Amino acid sequence: MQKAKSFLSIACLTIITASPALANSANGTWLRSNGAHVSVFDCKGGLGMKVIKSPEPEKVGRTIICGAKKSADNKWKGTLLNLDDGQTYSGTVTLSGNSLTLSGCVLGGLICKNDTWSRIN
* Tens-digit pLDDT profile for residues 23-57: 579 999 999 989 999 999 999 999 999 999 999 99
Quick check: is 14 in a domain? Answer: no
Q: Classify the phi-psi angles of 108: left when phi > 0, otherwise alpha if psi is within -120 to 50, otherwise beta.
A: left
Quick check: is 4 in a domain? Answer: no
- State the pLDDT at residue 10: 34
CATH number at residue 38: 2.40.128.520
Reported pTM: 0.77
Can you tell me the distance from the alpha carbon of 112 to that of 96, in angstroms, rounded to the nearest whole number? 19
Nearest to 78 by CA among 120, 52, 44: 44
- State the pLDDT at residue 111: 84
How many domains is the chain partitioned into structurally? 1
Q: Is 76 exposed, middle or buried (0-12, 13-18, 19+ CB in 10 A)?
A: buried
Quick check: is 60 in a domain? Answer: yes
Domain that holds residue 37: 26-119
pLDDT at 68 over 50: yes
Quick check: is 17 in a domain? Answer: no
Quick check: is 9 in a domain? Answer: no
